[in-house]
Chains A and B, each alone.
Chain A
Amino acid sequence: MTTLTANIAVRLGALDLEVALEVDERGLTLVGPNGAGKTTVLLAMVGARRLSRGRITIEGEVLFDGASGIDRATEDRGLAYVPQDYALFPHLTALENVAFGLRGPRTPRIARARSLLERLRVGAVADRQPSGLSGGERQRVALARALARSPRALLLDEPLAALDVESRHSVRDFLVAELRALHRPFIVIVHDPADVRAFAAPVAVIERGRVVQRGEVAELEASPATVFIARLLGGRGPPLAP
C-alpha cells in the first residue's frame, strides 16, 4: 500500500505550524478552523512553502528532509495539487489545461487529455476556457489535469467549497468515487460535516498549527477532543475540565 508521510514545521508570519500526517490509499480528510494552517500543509508538501524542518516521504522515497538537506523540486515530487479555486489556467482551454502537464508529441498528448475529460464527463466542454465553465465542470477539469500525469498522491484544498448546493452532492459523490478508484494516497481539505462523512476516510483535525485529533469519523464523533470538533460533527462535546 502506498503511503505518504509528512512531518512538517513551517513558521510563516503569525502561523506556527507543526504537524505529522500519514496517508494511505484510504485517504485523509483534513479539517480545522480557518487560519489553522490546512492550506499551508498542502503547499509545504508540494514544496511551495519553506519548511523550517521536517521530512516528507512517499512510497519510502524522501521528497524532503531538513536534516540531510534533501529538497526535491516541486515538479519532481509527483504530487498533484488542486487548490480551492482550482487554479485552471485562464488563458488555456479545458483541453489545453489537461494537456499542460503531458509531455511528448502533440497528437497523443491531446488524445490522452481528451480521453481524461471524457472519462470525467466533461468532454463536451474541452474547447471552452475556464471562464465559460460551471463550478462542477471546473472541478472535473482540474481533477483531469491533476490525474493526467498519474501523480503519486493527490492534495485537494476544499474541492467542494466553490460549488452551489444543487451540484454539490453529485459532484461530491463523483469525486469520492474517483479518488477511491485511484488507489493513491490523497488528502482533501473539507469544512462541511456531510463532506467529512461522505469521504469516510481517516480524519485529522488541525487547530492553530497542531493536529489536535486524528482517527475515524466515528471515533471523533464519539469522543471529540475539542469544541471545534464537537461542533463540526455535532457530538456531545469534550468532557468539561474538572
Chain B
Amino acid sequence: MAGYALGGGLLAFLVIPVVALFVTGSPADWLAGLRHPITAPALLLSLTTTAISLGVLVVFGTPLAWWLGRSEARVARLVETVVQLPIVVPPAVAGLALLLAFGRRGLLGPVLEGVGIDIAFSTIAVVLAQVFVAAPFYLQAATTAFAGIDENLLVVARTLGARPATVLFRVALPLARRGLIAGAAMAWARALGEFGATLMFAGNLPGRTQTLPLAVYTALESDVRAAQALAVILVMIALAIIICLRPRRARHRR
C-alpha cells in the first residue's frame, strides 16, 4: 500500500507540471503566443537545425554504431562508454567544452580561423551543440540494434554472394530499422530540447541561434503567454514522439 502511495506521488509530480502547462492558458492565449514575433523564427530555426543535426548523426553515427555493435575488441567497449559521456555531463559544461574546443580562442580556433570558419555564436554552433548532446541517444539505440543481429544472417548473406555493403543495406539496416528509428527519434527530441550547451556555445541571438527552448526562456521575461505557447509546442512534439515509439517497442518485446 505504501508502495502505491510513493509511486503515485512521483507520478503526480511528473504529470502535474505538464497539465499546468495546458490548463493555465486558454487556446486563445496560445494563438496569441504563436503570433508573438519571437515564435516563428525560433520554430523555424529549431526545425532546420534539428533536421541537420539528425542528418549528421545518422550519417556519421550509423557506421560508428555498426562498429560498436559488431566489434568484440576491448577498445570498442571503451569507446561505447566514452560516447555516453554527453548524457551525464551537464549541458552547460558541454557548452563550455565546445567553446574551448571550437571557439575563436579554443583548441581548434586557430585552425578554423585559418580556413575562415567562425563557429561560436553561429547557427553551426547550434547544430554542433545539438549533435553533441543528442549523439549518445542515437548511438546507444543503433549499437544495441546492430548488436542484436544474429551473426549467422550476416555470414549466410555473404555466402550468397552479397558484398559487405549489400549485406548492410539488404540485411543489417532492415533488421535494425526499429532500433535506428527509435534512436533517431530520441536523439531528435533531445536536440530539439537542447538549451544549456546552445546558450553557452551559440548564444541567444534571434534568428541565428535562438532555438525554441531559448525562446521560451527569453519570452518568459516579457510575455508569459508566448513562453507558454512555445512550451506547449515542445510538449506536443515530445508527446507525439513518445506515442509513435510506444507500440513499436511493445511489438519488439513479443
Contact = CB atoms under 8 A, between A and B. Distances in A.
Do A and B come together as binding partners?
yes
Nearest to A46: B159
A199 interface: no
A30 B158 CA distance: 23
A124 to B, nearest CB: 23
Contacts of A228: none
Given A75-B163, A100-B170, A87 B153 contact: yes
Contact of A81 (B159, B161, B162, B163): B159
Interface string B155-168: 11111111100000
A46 B155 contact: yes
A89 B161 contact: no
B155 A75 contact: no
A134 B151 CA distance: 22
B24 interface: no
Contact of B156 (A73, A81, A91): A81
A149 B155 contact: no
Interface in A78-101: 79-83, 85, 87, 89-91, 100-101
Interface in B144-201: 150-153, 155-163, 170-171, 174-175
A120 interface: no
A149 B161 contact: yes
B175 A74 contact: no
Contacts of B150: 85, 87
A161 interface: no
B146 to A, nearest CB: 15
Interface in B14-68: none
Contact of B157 (A85, A90, A100): A100
* B contact residues, range: 10 to 19
Of the candidates A43, A100, A103, the one having the most CB atoms from chain B within 10 angstroms of its own CB is A100
Given A87-B150, A89-B153, A79 B175 contact: no
Interface in A24-65: 43, 46-48
Contacts of A100: 157, 160, 162, 170
A103 B152 CA distance: 21
Given A91-B175, A100-B170, A75 B153 contact: no
Contacts of B155: 43, 46, 48, 74, 81, 83, 87
Residue of B150, B155, B156, B175 most packed against chain A (CB within 10 A): B156
Interface string A131-175: 000000000000001101101000000000000000000000000
A154 B170 CA distance: 23
Contacts of B160: 75, 80, 100-101, 145, 148-149
A73 B161 CA distance: 9
A220 B92 CA distance: 73
B158 A48 contact: yes
A100 B151 CA distance: 17
A77 interface: yes
B174 A91 contact: yes
A86 to B, nearest CB: 9
Contacts of A80: 159-160
Contacts of B161: 75, 101, 103, 149
5 contacts: A75-B158, A79-B159, A87-B152, A103-B161, A145-B156
Interface of A: 43, 46-48, 73-75, 77, 79-83, 85, 87, 89-91, 100-101, 103, 145-146, 148-149, 151
Closest A-B pairs by Cβ, 6 of them: A101-B160, A74-B158, A87-B152, A83-B152, A48-B155, A81-B159
Given A83-B156, A149-B161, 12 more contacts: A48-B158, A83-B155, A85-B150, A87-B150, A87-B155, A91-B175, A100-B162, A101-B160, A101-B161, A103-B161, A146-B159, A148-B160
